[in-house]
Structure 1
């Protein structure tokens, strides 16, 4: 039994190494081809048929190579996500607009619930997830008639965990809101080819069940497998439903809605997990207002906006934790000395511009002063300083 497991592990390692080497060797000439098309576009019309064909196929090959590289990272346990606060509704609109040129014969019909909360996500990784479910919804459905467009329906809604499939009924993370933001995608044309015997096969790389019709279309069958791994890193889920009433398979992606405290813990844990080298420090500034400092005239949002004006980098995040009343500033790639300067500037500005706002504060840097989110927060809360 152990010998069989060892052989299996060795086979995965060999595949991972092979994918990594081949992907790296292909990436350089592909980049050269794409750069050459840019140079050629200055000498021939941009809409030249052959130039477009070269660029289109080089970009397709580049996407394939990138997917192979990502699968090799999954095999090696080296897939990383960099979480930030994300407006999923706006993100989805931008991604779908970017995908339109690749959805020939299809139009997108988007429906989004009002006033949806934000989630934690990696913009780059989640771009792949949205691409995967939308393009595969088109890929595994019939082609529309010539000179006509078929609809791909995309929905974004807030769903309680009880409404998810039973295998996903355990909510993610700490205090848990028990709610998920769910993106659902479905082609309005019938599916093409045979359905897999078990839908889980859709999310396994290089599965053999795909028939000749679907093999003709773009991709190696790793896009959905990679999407599954990315969502796992987000504490999220992906699944598909069988086609009904002449429509295509329905793909779903669920991301957990977290309390602000859980968001802070999740983002901080992610930063510490991915920290490598001296430039990967993460610093926290925590402000705890004294009782009565918040009021109807001066709500927490007013103080958060005042702090936001003093931050210069889009990667810095502010979390108001309602349970504790604390305001936490998370600063990426920020060592202790830099964090101290930012803290002094914020503390001094609040003292001058918000009279009557009394608070204590603390600053801490990881992984120097703690290798986990819990350690850093505990250390900071044990070293309060008076505000000005």
Structure 2
């Protein structure tokens, strides 16, 4: 008693122990004593607050054992343990949990936590509503059959409108130890409604480096996606509307040029040449915008033909070399053909080379390297120009993304060429990436499967 509550044995507080209980716990000592007296030989454990000699209340864990019938003992044995610190930690944990749940239930994202057996550990209200339940509590209270039936109502599609296999979903990939994300369309087949969500899943590992939990975050981007779709529709319509007038302008420019060439009007021919260059530039921009619309709609078609990459690269370099003072050097060779769309792959090479020339105005050389392994062919285009800051590199292949800084304000462009090139390579089953340092230049590379 002295060690636990500070009272000396001679103070005989035990005889008035019930009076030391916290006012809210006064009935507990009475009930536990009655239970102990009724059940000889059986241990009773309870917890309540008792007044310390210094006036503060301490939480005690009290183990009571009735040995009144035990020869040589004939007493009730009380064992006291101070659990004040544990109770304080429990209160802090409960408070933190309550605060965390309040935060998670008020964020705009849906949050789901599952264990390694794919059993639900936590879900917030937002995620429950995404699945058609009024709240997380209603979802957790629903029988398993109702939950499964509700889930089967939803069809899952990827950004290109293709059914998303279960093994490609971020939650499954996270259960395999991989951090993953995907843009997904959930379609409620019963209600006929759908919503777009950005799914992100993160594995949490235990001390043995095994996946213990999977945390999935769902961000509803339906409104943003619908806005993008309206924008894409407008771009597509505008591009189609511009295509015919540009073709007519180009034809009449060529006709005027031939007319004035016959009259040897060099002054007019010079102006017509400049006009033709701008029409060509605008025509290419319209073609790029149409490509983007097709890609977003999943309607771009790729030919499947044997493509001699050495011949294609040589052709692109020969066509581009007369238009620039940079030396376009090629090192390495493929020595084989791959299966793909020759025109589209030529478009990728042309884009990377023209970018390399544009963003290295003070350099004299652009280097193209070709390398191969048994499974892949890799092409790299290196310039020695202004380079790109690390913070921009992850976003370079996004649609309409432009790096704005004092250094590149004079460089024209809409940020669509790299997006198109990246999409073409991805649709060939390959990948594209960049290595760059500011002031030292950039290397854009892509790899394609040998097939």
Normalising by the smaller structure, the TM-score range is 0.5 to 0.7
The answer as to 2:336 corresponding to 1:140 is: no
TM-score by length of 1: 0.55
The answer as to 2:284 corresponding to 1:70 is: no
Query: Which stretch of structure 1 is more off in the superposition, 2-11 or 216-225?
Result: 2-11
CA–CA separation in structure 1 for the residues paired with 2:385 and 2:355? 13
Equivalence for 1:94: 315
Equivalence for 1:249: 442
Q: In structure 2, the residue corresponding to 1:42 is in which secondary structure?
A: helix
**208, 222, 232: which one aligns with 2:416:** 222
**315, 325, 329: which one aligns with 1:109:** 329
For the structure 1 residues 225 and 110, does the alpha-carbon distance in structure 2 shift closer, same or farther, using more than 3 Å as the test? same
For the structure 1 residues 208 and 227, does the alpha-carbon distance in structure 2 shift closer, same or farther, using more than 3 Å as the test? closer
CA–CA separation in structure 2 for the residues paired with 1:77 and 1:196? 31
Report deviation, 1:8: 2.5
Equivalence for 2:67: none
Report deviation, 1:60: 0.8
Bigger radius of gyration, 1 or 2? 2
Q: In structure 2, the residue corresponding to 1:155 is in which secondary structure?
A: strand
Whether the aligned pair in 2 keeps the contact of 1:139 and 1:214 (CA below 8 Å) is no
Report deviation, 1:21: 0.7
For the structure 1 residues 73 and 247, does the alpha-carbon distance in structure 2 shift closer, same or farther, using more than 3 Å as the test? same
CA–CA separation in structure 2 for the residues paired with 1:211 and 1:138? 19
CA–CA separation in structure 1 for the residues paired with 2:378 and 2:350? 15
CA–CA separation in structure 1 for the residues paired with 2:259 and 2:367? 41
Q: In structure 1, the residue corresponding to 2:259 is in which secondary structure?
A: coil
> Whose strand fraction is larger, Structure 1's or Structure 2's?
2
Q: In structure 1, the residue corresponding to 2:411 is in which secondary structure?
A: coil
Whether the aligned pair in 2 keeps the contact of 1:89 and 1:112 (CA below 8 Å) is no
The answer as to 2:345 corresponding to 1:126 is: yes
Equivalence for 1:60: 281
Report deviation, 1:139: 2.3
Q: Identify unmatched segments of 5+ residues in structure 1.
A: 145-149, 160-176, 259-388
Report deviation, 1:111: 1.8
TM-score by length of 2: 0.48
Whether the aligned pair in 2 keeps the contact of 1:13 and 1:76 (CA below 8 Å) is no
**229, 232, 235: which one aligns with 1:16:** 232
CA–CA separation in structure 1 for the residues paired with 2:343 and 2:367? 23
For the structure 1 residues 88 and 26, does the alpha-carbon distance in structure 2 shift closer, same or farther, using more than 3 Å as the test? same
CA–CA separation in structure 2 for the residues paired with 1:215 and 1:66? 24
For the structure 1 residues 50 and 212, does the alpha-carbon distance in structure 2 shift closer, same or farther, using more than 3 Å as the test? farther
Report deviation, 1:196: 5.0
CA–CA separation in structure 1 for the residues paired with 2:390 and 2:231? 24
Report deviation, 1:82: 1.0
CA–CA separation in structure 2 for the residues paired with 1:235 and 1:215? 34
Deviation string 1:258-277 (CA, Å, 9 cap, x unpaired) is 2xxxxxxxxxxxxxxxxxxx
Deviation string 1:223-247 (CA, Å, 9 cap, x unpaired) is 1101111111100111110138x64
Q: In structure 1, the residue corresponding to 2:294 is in which secondary structure?
A: helix
For the structure 1 residues 100 and 31, does the alpha-carbon distance in structure 2 shift closer, same or farther, using more than 3 Å as the test? farther
For the structure 1 residues 209 and 97, does the alpha-carbon distance in structure 2 shift closer, same or farther, using more than 3 Å as the test? same
Report deviation, 1:152: 0.7
Q: In structure 2, the residue corresponding to 1:240 is in which secondary structure?
A: strand
Q: Identify unmatched segments of 5+ residues in structure 2.
A: 1-108, 110-129, 131-194, 196-219
Deviation string 1:247-291 (CA, Å, 9 cap, x unpaired) is 420011211112xxxxxxxxxxxxxxxxxxxxxxxxxxxxxxxxx
Q: In structure 1, the residue corresponding to 2:258 is in which secondary structure?
A: coil
The answer as to 2:409 corresponding to 1:231 is: no
Equivalent runs, 1:1-388 vs 2, <5 Å: 4-45=220-261, 48-102=269-323, 104-113=324-333, 116-144=335-363, 150-159=364-373, 177=374, 179-187=375-383, 189-191=384-386, 195=389, 197-211=391-405, 213-243=407-437, 247-258=440-451
Whether the aligned pair in 2 keeps the contact of 1:236 and 1:254 (CA below 8 Å) is yes
For the structure 1 residues 128 and 218, does the alpha-carbon distance in structure 2 shift closer, same or farther, using more than 3 Å as the test? farther
- The CA RMSD measured in Å over matched residues stands at 2.3
